[in-house]
Each structure stands twice: as C-alpha cells, then as structure tokens.
C-alpha cells in the first residue's frame, strides 16, 4: 500500500510558507507521509477577491504583527530570519523554476533555498541571477538550461494548473495542506494536524 | 512578587475566542499566570479599516474553511460545537454584562457560558433573556440587577476603554493576548506561546 500523502501548497511570497517549507519533510518523515510539493500563486486568488495585494500590506496592524510573530516563530524553530526590503516579493519565476526541477528531484531543496534566501537572508528572489545561484547551490548541474525551461509554455501551464486546482480546493492563503484531495488545512500552525489527518486515513 | 499576568482580549462574536476562553484558565494555572479577562469589540476596529463585517463573511473561502477548522479543533479539544444560524452575532450586551459581573468574580464563568451557548449549542447570544438565564446559571443572584447595570454609562464607557486600548495595542483580531502591556499574540494557536512569554518575564 502506498504511504499516506499530503499536498503542500506554497507561495514563494508567503512568510509562513517559509516556516512550513523548512519543517515539513522532517515532520512528514516522522509519520511516514509523502509530501507533494505544489508551488502556486496567491496573486490570481487575491485578484479574484478584488484585492490588489496581501492582507499583510492592506491591514497595517496585521502586517506589523505578522513580522513580529514571524521573528518569534523563526527563533523558536531555530531558523534564520531577516526581513526583506520588499514585501510581497514576486515569486513567479521561482515557482516556475521549482516546477522545472521537480523531475530532477530538486523541488524541495530548491524551494527551501529560495525561502532561506528570502526570509533568512532578506534577499530579492525575483532576480534570475539569484535564483540561478540557488539552483547551482542545491546541485543543479545546468542552471541556465533550467532557467530556459522554466520560461517554456509547458511549465507556465503547469503553474497555472496548480493555481486552478488551488482555487477549486477553496485555498485562500498559504501555506495550505490538502489531504485526500479534499481536506484543507491552512497555515504553518496546522502542519501537524494535516499530517496526522493523512496518517489517520484522510 | 506578583505572579506573571496576561491580558486576554476576546470578542463574543469571535469563533476562535471560544476555543481560547474554554482553555485559558487551565493553561494559565499550569504556569501560574494570572489572566485579565478583557472583553472588547472588533466592530469598531474593523470599521476603522473600512470593513463592514468579518473577513470570514467577506472572504467566502476563508469563512467556509474557518467553520470546518473550528469543528475539527473543537473535536480535538473535546468541546461541543454547533454552528449558529447568525454570524457574526452581536456581542455588545454580552460584553457589557461580562464587565458588570467582573466585581463579583463571575466574568470568566459568565464568558465561558456565553461562548458555550453560542458555539457549543448554536444559540442567539444577542438576546437579553438568554443572557439573563446564563447569568443565573453561573451563580449570579440578581440577573435583572446586572442587566440594568450593564446598560449604565459607567459600564458602557469601560467597554469603550477596552476597545480604545485594543486599538492602541495594535490588536486587529480575536482572541489576542498581551503580555507586559506590549507583546501581542494573536489567535487561539498562540495561547501557549503568550503564556510562556509571560512566564519568561514578558
């Protein structure tokens, strides 16, 4: 029988996705749950609600709280934290690259590297040069080839499909976890509950 | 030396405040932390942001998720759950009554009784008759006197003061926990972190 699985929907602009990305494999391995790394974009989902940007920007108090909370949570999880100058960042290219390296087994290490650069070191992850460097750092032997592939129609469509699936699942934020193609859990705080749900049989 | 303390800001319309209200005293007692029960209203805070109602209403997907998550969380905490017909409910009178019974040491049991009626039994907690019955059930010997007192200017002003303090603290949602008059934690999921912060010295 296949091990239980979980779909991990993450957006590279999302702060709490950083925390989840850094811990999901260890928590999943502990429970023998397989993780489907599923990058998507919140932009189109927010736009469909008539929003122009993140609630962390439009709601000033919520945004200020989020950065303080993220700092506290990162410290507790012993993760590096540095607030980037720009928020939210454009994660489009990073998401396409993540999909382009999935076949090579690099989607998880690349995604973690992007998050660490963004929220651990405060770097600009919209930049192709930075992303190429991160690709090489996680063992990609042809970063330029991957960058080219990330811009092809097939990969673009795959990301669009992920966004469409997220919308059909009722996903409204990131990170989100989906068990059995149906049961939705939202937020880094629900990672354990989602994994336990998968273990219990979805 | 006085034991460490925490201010518990809750709004009677708030679903996750229900979960926090039912657990805070046990979690606080375990850590020898004193709880300042601080009812407030989110309505004026939302209105100041230009919102007419709860994000759980305006964001349909987030609202649907919240009810499912609340049901799961209540089950895990072994709390009763019944979705009320109306959401959000008008918690104004309940908040005033809570303040009016504070001197009698009944603010915590009365608040828990309101939440249990609202989200454990699906009752209408805007109704004065229901609130009077809850007052009697938690040992109030003069529910009518308390109802009259709850409508006096002094109590109304006390609630306004709580709302003003919440705004000054940057509170944007409920439940919220404040340690040392400064450090803010938002959401039932942060109850333990807030209490631990109080224990560590604020």
Which tens digit of pLDDT belongs to each residue from B40-50? 999 999 999 88
Residue of chain B nearest A76, judged by CA positions: B193
Residue from the list A59, A170, A173 with its beta carbon closest to the beta carbon of B64? A170
Distance CA B20, CA B190 (A): 9
Q: Are B70 and B119 in contact (CB under 8 A)?
A: yes
- For B112-122, the pLDDT digits (tens) are 999 999 999 99
With H, G, I as helix, E, B as strand and everything else as coil, classify residue A128: helix
Kindly report the backbone phi and psi dihedral angles of residue A11, in degrees, each rounded to the nearest multiple of 5, phi listed first. Answer: -125, 130
Distance between start and end Cα atoms, chain B: 14
DSSP label at B188? G
Residue of chain A nearest B197, judged by CA positions: A72
Interface pTM, i.e. ipTM: 0.94
Instruction: Please report residues of A whose CB lies closer than 8 A to that of B55.
Output: 55
In B11-125 the beta strands, taken as DSSP E runs, fall at 34-39
Q: Are B179 and B6 in contact (CB under 8 A)?
A: yes
pTM: 0.96
Q: Which of B46, B55, B57, B65 best probes binding to A when mutated, by most A CB atoms within 10 angstroms?
A: B65
Q: Are B31 and B195 in contact (CB under 8 A)?
A: yes
DSSP label at B119? I
Beta-carbon contacts of B128 under 8 Å, excluding residues fewer than 6 positions away, are B93, B147
Tokens, residue A88: 């939210």
Instruction: Please report residues of B whose CB lies closer than 8 A to that of A65.
Output: 170, 172, 184, 186
Give me the pLDDT at residue B2, please: 75
Contact B61 A186 (CB under 8 A): no
Q: Answer whether B69 touches A (CB < 8 Å).
A: yes
Contact A72 B193 (CB under 8 A): yes
Q: Which residue has the tokens 């938002």?
A: B186
Give me the pLDDT at residue A2, please: 75
Digit-by-digit pLDDT tens for chain A (202 residues) are 677 999 999 999 999 999 999 999 999 999 999 999 999 999 999 999 888 888 898 899 999 999 999 999 999 999 999 999 999 999 999 999 999 999 999 999 999 999 999 999 999 999 999 999 999 999 999 999 999 999 999 999 999 999 999 999 999 999 999 999 999 999 999 999 999 999 998 7
Q: Are B139 and B152 in contact (CB under 8 A)?
A: no
Residue of chain B nearest A170, judged by CA positions: B61
Instruction: Please report residues of B whose CB lies closer than 8 A to that of A193.
Output: 72, 76
For residue B93, give how far its alpha carbon lies from the nearest alpha carbon of chain A (Å).
Answer: 27
Length of chain A: 202
Contact A61 B170 (CB under 8 A): yes
Using alpha carbons, select from B111, B135, B143 the residue that is nearest to residue B39: B111
Q: Which of A19, A54, A65 best probes binding to B when mutated, by most B CB atoms within 10 angstroms?
A: A65
Distance CA A67, CA A90 (A): 18
Residue from the list B61, B172, B185 with its beta carbon closest to the beta carbon of A170? B61
Q: Answer whether A42 touches B (CB < 8 Å).
A: no
In B60-125 the beta strands, taken as DSSP E runs, fall at none
Average pLDDT over residues B134-151: 97
Give me the pLDDT at residue B1, please: 64
Contact B65 A190 (CB under 8 A): no
Tokens, residue A37: 């790394």
Q: Which of B172, B183, B192 best probes binding to A when mutated, by most A CB atoms within 10 angstroms?
A: B172
Give me the pLDDT at residue B49, please: 87
Average pLDDT over residues B101-122: 97
The total of other beta-carbon atoms located within 10 Å of residue B139's CB is 12
Distance CA B196, CA B190 (A): 10
Q: Answer whether A184 touches B (CB < 8 Å).
A: yes
- For A96-127, the pLDDT digits (tens) are 999 999 999 999 999 999 999 999 999 999 99
Give me the pLDDT at residue A1, please: 64
The total of other beta-carbon atoms located within 10 Å of residue A198's CB is 26
Distance CA A175, CA A193 (A): 13
Give me the pLDDT at residue B202, please: 76
């Amino acid at each position: 029988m296949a091990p239980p699985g979980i779909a991990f929907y993450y957006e590279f602009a999302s702060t709490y996705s950083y925390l989840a990305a850094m811990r999901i494999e260890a928590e999943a391995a502990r429970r023998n749950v397989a993780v489907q790394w599923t990058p998507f974009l919140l932009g189109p989902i927010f736009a469909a609600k008539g929003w122009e940007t993140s609630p962390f920007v439009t709601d000033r108090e919520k945004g200020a709280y989020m950065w303080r909370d993220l700092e506290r949570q990162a410290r507790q999880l012993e993760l590096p934290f540095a607030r980037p100058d720009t928020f939210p960042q454009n994660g489009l290219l990073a998401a396409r690259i993540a999909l382009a390296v999935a076949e090579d087994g690099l989607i998880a290490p690349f995604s973690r590297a992007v998050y660490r650069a963004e929220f651990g070191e405060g770097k600009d992850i919209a930049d192709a040069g930075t992303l190429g460097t991160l690709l090489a750092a996680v063992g990609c032997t042809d970063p330029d080839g991957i960058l080219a592939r990330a811009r092809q129609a097939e990969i673009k469509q795959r990301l669009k499909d992920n966004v469409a699936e997220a919308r059909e699942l009722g996903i409204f934020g990131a990170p989100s976890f989906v068990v059995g193609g149906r049961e939705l859990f939202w937020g880094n705080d629900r990672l354990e509950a989602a994994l336990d749900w998968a273990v219990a049989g979805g």
